[in-house]
A and B are shown apart, each in its own frame.
Chain A
Amino acid sequence: MTSVAATAHGAHAHHDDRSFVQKYIFSTDHKIIGIQFLFVSLFFLLVGGLLAMQMRWQLGFPGKPMPGGGVLPETMAPGGVILPEYYIQLVTMHGTFMVFFAIMPLLVGVFANFLIPLKIGTHDMAFPRINMWSFWTFFIGGLVMLSSLFVPDGAARAGWTMYAPLSARHDYSGASLGQELWSVSIIFVGLSSILGSLNYITTIINNRAPGMTWFRMPLSVWSLFITAILGLLALPVLSGAAIMLLFDQIIGTHFFDPAAGGQALLWQHLFWFFGHPEVYILILPAMGMVSDIIANGSRKPIFGYHSMVFAIVAIAFLGWIVWGHHMFVSGMNPTLGSSFMVSTLVIAVPSAVKTFNWMGTMWRGNLRFHVPMLHAVAFVAMFVIGGLSGIFMAATPVDMFIHDTYFIVAHLHYVLFGGSLFALFGAITYWYPKMFGRMMSEPWGKVHFWLTFLFYNCTFFPMHITGMAGEMRRLYDPNQYTFLQPLQPIRVFISISAFLLFATQVIFFVNFWWSLWKGKQAPQNPWEDNGLEWSLPSPAPHGNWEKVPTVYRGPYEFSSPQSTEDYLPQYKKLPTDREPARAPVAGH
C-alpha cells in the first residue's frame, strides 16, 4: 500500500519563491484557481439558497411576515411581508445565481481547473495567465450581480431567462439599474467561460502525458472536454445577446422591442440557442465525475466506456438542435415545433444509454458505499426522474398544457439539484483530500447525504403534482386563482421540506470548513483509485509532478486479473507493459 501522508507543499523539490499574493490571490496555479472558484461559488450557492427560502416562505405562508424579514427595506418587504416586486426579483436572482454563479462554476470552474491537468498528467494549464483571468472576470461578474440586489429599485425582475421586451424596457419591468447590472454581469460571465474553455480545450489536446491516448482518458476529462467545446461556442451567443439587451436598456436600440420595430422572439431564439447547450454544460461534467466515482465505488471497469464517450458527444451535438423545445407555444412556427420535438426525443436516447451503462457498471460489482458513491448513485436515481419528465415536455401537445407550470420547475430541479448538485457533493468529497490534504468526515457526510436525499425529494417531487394541476411558475400568490387554492397544503408541505433541506446543508458547510483544519490527514490514495492524480501526495504540490507519469492503461482497471489488489493505477508499470511510442516529455 502506498499511503504516504505528505502534508506540506514543501514536499516538492520545485523551489517555490512566489509571494502570498502570487500564490493565493493572483495565482496561475490551476489547483489554486480551482479552489478559488470553489470558495466563491459555494458562497453564491448559499446566496441562491437564501433567496429560495424567501420565495418558499411567501408561497407557503403568503402575506405573513417572514421571520427575520424585518431587516429588509420597505421597498422589498415592509414589516417582513414580501412584496410582489420583490418576489419576482427573488425568482430572477435565485435562477441567475444558481445557474451562472453556483452550478456552472462549481462544475467547470472548480473541476475543469482542478482535474484536467491532474488527470491527463501535466504541470499546469496551457495558458495559466488566461486561466487566472477566467477566475477574475467571473469574480467581477459575481460582484456586479450581487451588488444589483442593493441598488435603489432592486435587482432584475424578468426571470433568469430574461424574456424581452419585459427585460428591455424599464417602464415595463419597473427596474432600471438592476436590469442593466444583470446584462453587464452576464457579459463578464460569458468572457470568463470563453477564456476558461479555450484553455481546457488546448490543454487536453496538447498536454496529455505520454501514453494518455484519447481513449485512455477518464470520462470526467472527456465530459469536461466536450463541455468546454459547448462553452466556447455557446457563451459568445449569450454575451452577444446580453450586449444587445444592454444597448436596448441604455441607448434605446430597440432590438427586442416590437413597439419600436424590434422582435420579441429574437431574444428567445438567442437565449435558448445558448440556453440548451448550457443545460448540458450543467450536466455533462456531473455525468463524467459520477462515472469515475461509480467505477471506483463498484470496483469495476465502466460498462461500455466507448459508448459512454459517444453518448457524451451525441448529447453535445444534438444539444445544438433542440433549443426550440423551450418555445413550443411562443408563437414560433408550429412546424418547427414538430422538428424540435423529434430532436428532443432523440436526445433522450444517449441519456438512457448512459443510465443503463452506469447500472451495468454496478452490476456484479463489489460496491463500496463511501460518501461520494452514495451521491453518485443518488445522481443516477434522480437524473432518471428528470430525464423522464423531460419526455412529457418534449411531446408538444402535452407541453402545451404543462409549459410554464411547476412541472417544469420539478424537471429542472431533478436534473440540476438531483443531478448536478448531488454529483457535486460527491465530487467535492471525493477530491477534497487531493485539494486540501485532509478528509471530510465520513459519518457526517452520510448524515448530510441521507437528510438531503429525503428533504430534496419531499421538496421537489410534489411540484410534479401541482404542475399537473396547472399551477403556473413565478406566481407571487397562487391563491389568486380559485383552481389553485386547494393546492395550498401541498405548497406548505413543500415549503417546510425546503426549509429542512436548507438547514441540512449546514451540515455540509460545517463539515467542509471543519475538515479544512481538523479533518483526518489524507493518505495519498484514499479511495484506492486509478487516476494519475492519486500518484501525487495529498495535497497535490505546485507544478504537480517533477516528471510527468507515463500512462500504461485506461482509468477503470478495477478488479483486473492482472493485479492482486482490486485496482490497477494508470501509472503503474507491469512487467508486461511496453513504453508508449511517444517519448516522455522531460520535466521542466
Chain B
Amino acid sequence: MHWWLPPKASTFTGPIDGLFLAILIITGIAFVLVEVGLIWFIVQYRQRPGRKAFYTHGNTRAEVIWTAIPAVTMVALGLISNHYWVEIKGRNSIPANAYPIGVHAKQFEWQMTYPGADGKLGTGDDFTIRNQLHVPVGRPIVVQLSAEDVIHSFYVPQFRVRQDVVPGMDIKAWFQATVPGTYEIGCSQLCGLGHYRMRAQVFVHTQEDYDAWMKQAAQEASQ
C-alpha cells in the first residue's frame, strides 16, 4: 500500500513535493492546535454544577494576533508558490531547447506525434503512434496538446505534471523526466463513458535507447 506521493520521476517533483511537505507542516501545526484545543476545552470546561461561564465578549489583542499570523503565513506561502508556478507553468517557462512531441486526445485515446529525425514537428518525417509516449531522460520535453472532441487532461503522476487538453486551444506543457522507466498517462478530466480507460504509457529512455527506438519506429511508420 501507498501512503505518500508517487515515486519521483521528473524535475518538478523537487519543488512540488517540497511545497506539499511545507504546507503539510504548516497546516499540520494549525490542525493539531485546533483539534487539541477543542478536546482540551471539551474536557476542561464541560458543565459542572455550580460553575458559571466566564462572561466576556472577546479580546482585541488575541483577535489581532490570530488574524495576523494566518495572514502573514498565507502571503508568504503565496509568494513561494508563485515562484515555482512561474518556473513550471509560467508563460515563458518552456525551455528553448525543449524537444517537441504532439499529443492529440480524443474519446478515448491518445495519439502521439513524433518529430522524426529532424527533431521538428510539422515536417514530412513526423509519425504518429497511439497510446505510447516515448521520451529521452534528462531533456526538457514540450508536449503540444490538442483535443478532437471534448476536454481531456494529460496527467503523469510520477512527473507531477497535469494539463487540460481543450478542444479549440493549442496548449503547450513541458516537463523533464529524471528516471528511465515506464509510467502511465491518465486522463484526469471526465470525458465520457470511456474516461476510465483513456490510458496511455510513458516510456522514459536513455538518450541512446531513445535514438535507437526513434530510428526503428520511424522506419516502421514509413513502411
Contact = CB atoms under 8 A, between A and B. Distances in A.
Given A397-B19, A404-B189, A481-B184, A88 B195 contact: yes
Interface in B75-90: 75, 77-78, 81-82, 84-86, 88-90
Interface string A544-572: 00000000000000111100001000000
B93 to A, nearest CB: 8
A398 B23 contact: yes
Interface stretch (A187-195, A379-387, A574-582): A379-387
A263 B168 contact: yes
B53 A472 contact: no
A363 B81 contact: no
A301 interface: yes
B164 A301 contact: no
Nearest to A482: B184
Contacts, number: 299
Given A329-B163, A342-B78, A163 B66 contact: no
Interface residues of B, number: 88
A152 B164 CA distance: 32
Interface centre among A88, A264, A299, A472 (most CB of B within 10 A): A472
Interface stretch (B36-44, B130-138, B214-222): B36-44
Nearest to B26: A391
A258 B168 contact: yes
A181 to B, nearest CB: 19
A369 B46 CA distance: 8
A400 B16 contact: yes
Interface in A140-176: 157-159, 163, 165-166, 172-174
Interface in B51-71: 51-59, 62-63, 66-67, 70-71
A159 B151 CA distance: 13
A362 B63 contact: no
Contacts of A487: 1-2
Given A338-B82, A366-B51, A400-B161, A331 B58 contact: no
Contact of A395 (B19, B151, B193): B19
Interface in B185-206: 186-197, 199
Q: Secondary structure at chain A's binding surface: helix, strand, loop or mixed?
A: helix
Given A174-B193, A334-B90, A300 B53 contact: yes
A403 B90 CA distance: 18
Contacts of B151: 163, 165-166, 264
A227 to B, nearest CB: 23
Contact of A398 (B16, B38, B47, B62): B16
A348 B23 CA distance: 13
Interface of B: 1-6, 12, 15-16, 19-20, 23-24, 26-27, 30-31, 34-35, 37-38, 41-42, 45-48, 51-59, 62-63, 66-67, 70-71, 74-75, 77-78, 81-82, 84-86, 88-91, 107, 149-151, 153, 155, 157-158, 160-164, 166-169, 171, 183-184, 186-197, 199
Interface of A: 84-85, 88, 91, 157-159, 163, 165-166, 172-174, 258-259, 262-265, 298-307, 329-331, 333-335, 337-338, 341-342, 345-346, 348-349, 352-353, 355-357, 359-360, 362-369, 377, 380-381, 384-385, 388-389, 391-392, 395-398, 400-401, 403-405, 465, 468-470, 472-478, 480-483, 486-487, 489-490, 558-561, 566
14 contacts: A88-B195, A165-B149, A174-B193, A331-B166, A366-B45, A366-B48, A380-B38, A392-B20, A392-B24, A398-B19, A398-B23, A401-B5, A404-B189, A566-B52
